[in-house]
């Protein structure tokens, strides 16, 4: 029995454990090193859940056999420290303060399901999104992958949003297609007056690029807030013929994998630069800051860390569980966030349970410290 046990616990298992440990340790470094410095490192940050799961498995496996490798597994997990708490929350504590706050809803609406081949299904999805917004009645609504046409059509957007929010005060930045008179981008609606509005410019912003950052200074009662709506660099895998569709079978998996690698690498670096620009901008704000939107990066990323250095993550302050916001084809998990400055605190936080989009909406109530 002892001989069989030694064979079982020999080289291959120890090698697999060591590789898991190395992968998890490298994922710990990803938030702190710019993606252009070590291009492979962000991939380890993206794979953090996998390496974490493997390390926990090896902890249990080696613990069962009472091997010292169980201690190694535990040490690797402990080295991560507070980084692990970026990925789940256990607070879920709402404020008992009766003072009214600012209710913000951020939602990547995936163009309201515009390109669904079944037009009736697209209308159904659009109406479900409208119904959710109507039910939540946010003070401020931030939409990513926003769509509208210059003239109302059967797939009408603007009039419905203005009616259900009872406001015409909004700020938008979008790419305009002249041929079809359509607009694709992001939008920020407010029930309260916007005394100023503007954009944080990124490098490349064309018709095929929906990644923008806009902001507005909003006055509610006696308080003024600066709210940023961001949509950082998308991976846009489905625009590459080597990744999706029949072309994957034609060109083979190796070429497809290289195409994915190139797109991810470019996206990591672009998001880092975009995050830098947004951070530099909000650091000069004269008002309490709220930054929300689709960041397209996980909590174990350099992008997330740039915001976390100066702002608080509302989910970590008042959320519960894993907080998954992306529910599309890729298992990206939590990539939509609501950050806020030190003058504010979170009174309530909620993530949408069922969505017609590939993202879940996030709703949060912010209040000022007295």
pLDDT tens digits along 326-370: 997 766 689 999 999 999 999 999 999 999 999 999 999 999 988
**In terms of DSSP H, where are the helices of the chain?**
2-8, 11-29, 41-46, 48-64, 69-79, 119-136, 158-165, 246-251, 253-282, 302-308, 314-318
Maximum CA pair distance of the chain?
79
- For residue 299, the 8-state DSSP code is T
Q: How does residue 235 score in pLDDT terms, banded at 50, 70 and 90?
A: confident
Q: Say what the pTM is.
A: 0.91
Query: Does residue 240 register a pLDDT over 50?
Result: no
Confidence of residue 153 (pLDDT cuts 50, 70, 90): confident
Beta bridge partners of 335: none
Kind of pairing, strands 312-313 and 336-340?
antiparallel
Query: Which pLDDT score is estimated for 110?
Result: 94
Indicate whether 104 pLDDT > 90: yes
Mean pLDDT across the chain, nearest whole number? 88
Domain annotation for the chain: domains and CATH numbers: 2-84 (no CATH), 90-368 (3.60.10.10)
> Would you say residue 242 has pLDDT above 60?
no
pLDDT (0 to 100) of residue 219: 96
pLDDT higher than 60, residue 211: yes
Number of other CB atoms surrounding residue 15 within 10 Å:
10
- pLDDT above 70 for 252: no
CA distance 70 to 76: 10
Residue 178 has a pLDDT of 62
pLDDT(191) > 70: yes
pLDDT at 255 (0 to 100): 74
């Amino acid at each position: 029995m002892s001989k069989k046990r030694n064979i079982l616990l020999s080289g291959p298992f120890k090698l697999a454990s060591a590789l898991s440990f190395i992968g998890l340790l490298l994922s710990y470094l990803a938030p702190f090193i710019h993606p252009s410095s070590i291009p492979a490192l962000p991939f380890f940050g993206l794979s953090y859940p996998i390496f974490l799961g493997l390390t926990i498995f090896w902890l249990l496996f080696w613990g069962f056999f009472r091997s010292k490798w169980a201690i190694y597994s535990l040490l690797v997990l402990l080295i991560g420290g507070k980084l692990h708490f970026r990925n789940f929350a256990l607070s879920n504590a709402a404020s008992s303060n009766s003072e009214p706050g600012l209710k913000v809803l951020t939602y990547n609406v995936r163009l309201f399901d515009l390109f669904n081949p079944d037009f009736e299904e697209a209308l159904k999805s659009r109406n479900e999104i409208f119904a959710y917004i109507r039910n939540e009645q946010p003070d401020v609504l931030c939409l990513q992958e926003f769509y509208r046409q210059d003239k109302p059509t059967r797939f009408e957007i603007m009039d419905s949003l203005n009616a259900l929010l009872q406001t015409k005060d909004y700020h938008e930045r979008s790419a305009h297609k002249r041929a079809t008179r359509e607009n694709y981008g992001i939008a920020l609606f407010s029930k309260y007056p916007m005394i100023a509005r503007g954009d944080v410019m990124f490098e490349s912003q064309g018709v095929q690029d929906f990644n923008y950052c806009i902001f507005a200074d909003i006055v509610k009662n006696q308080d003024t807030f600066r709210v940023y709506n961001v949509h950082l660099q998308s991976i846009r895998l489905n625009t590459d013929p080597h990744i999706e569709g029949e072309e994957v079978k034609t060109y083979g998996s190796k070429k497809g994998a290289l195409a994915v690698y190139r797109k991810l690498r470019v996206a990591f670096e672009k998001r880092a630069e975009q995050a830098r620009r947004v951070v530099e901008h909000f650091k000069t704000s004269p008002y309490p800051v709220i930054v929300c939107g689709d960041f397209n990066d996980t909590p174990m990323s350099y992008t997330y860390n740039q915001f976390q250095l100066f702002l608080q993550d509302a989910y970590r302050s008042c959320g519960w569980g894993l907080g998954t916001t992306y529910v599309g084809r890729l298992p990206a998990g939590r990539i939509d966030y609501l950050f806020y400055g030190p003058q504010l605190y979170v009174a309530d936080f909620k993530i949408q349970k069922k969505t017609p989009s590939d993202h879940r909406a996030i709703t949060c109530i912010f209040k000022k410290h007295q």
